[in-house]
Amino acid sequence: MPLFLFKYLIKAKGVIILKLVALVGSPRKGGNTDTLLQKVAEGFTSQGGETQTFYLNDLNLRGCQACYACKKTGQCVVKDDTAEIFKAINAADAVVIGSPIYFGRFTAQLALVMDRLFAYLKPDFSSSLAPGKKYGVVFAQNQPDPKLYAGCIDAVGQVLGRVGFAAGAKPLVGSGLGAADAALQNEQYLQAAVALGKELAAVNKE
């Protein structure tokens, strides 16, 4: 099928433009995580989708307060910028989450949001998230071995799967990235990020 036909998903009610939400867990704007997530967004938009990016470090975010109010009301009652993230995720077809590795794990900024996804679990702990949302994960690390922090990447997948996301795309691990512009100099990672974006855009076309 020609590419332009892939640009829009035609549904009974009309033309639906696919939406991707990108969560940047690095405080370093223009750094490796941000660069790779921008490339994922580029891949996604090249297929006719639109993207919305949240720089978590710029937001007013609190961790989960364990109040369990979401189990009674169906919504998180903590008033902060997570409400905007929830709104965007609810409207999205796919989510891509990116973080640098800090001391063997993802950043505190991302951890805050991950815990808040608890609100997507109903009182019986089934998911209230609309089905079929796919996810991608992108990590940047200084260490050269891309498998070194596999446990951390699995942890992200476990949370997202638990709260009701559909199967994830293959994670992109940018290893050996120290300086903030290291990803920008790495054509292989840039291309892999664009490919991930295209893969996420293909989610609902079947």
Q: Which pair of tokens denotes residue 63?
A: 């961790």
Q: Which pair of tokens denotes residue 190?
A: 């840039």
Residue 109 found at the interface with ligand FMN (CB under 6 A): no
Of residues 98, 109, 102, 99, the one with CA closest to residue 196? 98
Closest CB to ligand FMN among residues 4, 103: 103
Of residues 178, 201, 167, the one with CA closest to residue 3? 201
Are the beta carbons of 98 and 132 closer than 8 angstroms? no
CA R_g for the chain: 17
Residue 180 found at the interface with ligand FMN (CB under 6 A): yes
**Binding residue (CB under 6 A) for ligand FMN from 142, 146, 155, 195:** 142
**Binding residue (CB under 6 A) for ligand FMN from 1, 3, 60, 103:** 103
The residues, ordered by sequence, that sit 6+ positions from 13 with a Cβ below 8 Å of its Cβ are none
Window of 1-9, 10-18, 24-32, 50-58 that interacts with ligand FMN by CB under 6 A:
24-32
**Binding residue (CB under 6 A) for ligand FMN from 16, 91, 104, 125:** 104
Residue 155 found at the interface with ligand FMN (CB under 6 A): no
Q: CB neighbours (10 Å) of residue 155?
A: 15
Are the beta carbons of 178 and 142 closer than 8 angstroms? yes
Residue 204 found at the interface with ligand FMN (CB under 6 A): no
Residue 123 found at the interface with ligand FMN (CB under 6 A): no
Residue 28 found at the interface with ligand FMN (CB under 6 A): yes
In whole angstroms, how close is the CB of 15 to ligand FMN at the nearest point? 35
Closest CB to ligand FMN among residues 18, 40: 40
